[in-house]
Amino acid sequence: MSYAIVHYPNINTEDINQIRQKYDPQVYLIEAHITLVFPIIESINENNLILHIDNILSKWKAFPICLKGLQKSWDEYLFLMVEEGKVDMIELHNELYTGILAQYRRDNLPFIPHLTLGRFTKNIAQFLQVLEEAQQLDLNYRCFVNKVHLINIADEQRSIIWSKKFVLRNY
């Protein structure tokens, strides 16, 4: 069992899912999302984790983001980038990785706020094809980060056992 914290953008994901269904191995595990805390596989006290998230989010107000622009990651993923609201997403990510989650923070990899479109392990031709496909769709979305979800993922990462929603304060 593992935990992760994600934001599901309140956008029309039809075009995004067109790409994800072909290229994202996790399309049937989880809907289009931005990961704020990556899966933590080790045991962690669920109640303490919920209290930690509540405490961090009690200081946060909803904020706008814009998903636009494409980027290939170092590990062969295609990302739809968070353009506007990137600084807020990074700050929220950093704050969540304090306290009970501090030991799980990976300082060797910078956090890049994004929504994953697909994975292309060493297949440059396929990557170039999907990059062109995504560019033609002109993916550009605006929404608010007004809630996040703590998700509990089964050990084999094939299903989400449960999800708990946390709502950020409004302006």
Q: What are phi and psi of 5, to 5 degrees?
A: -120, 125
- In this structure, what token pair is assigned to residue 5? 């914290």
pLDDT tens, position by position, 52-111: 999 999 999 999 999 999 999 888 899 999 999 999 999 999 999 999 999 999 988 899
The residues spanned by each domain of the chain are: 2-167
| CATH homologous superfamily, domain 2-167 | Cyclic phosphodiesterase (3.90.1140.10)
pTM score of the predicted model: 0.93
- In this structure, what token pair is assigned to residue 129? 């094809």
Token pair 């807020």 is found at: 88
| SS3 state at 115 | strand
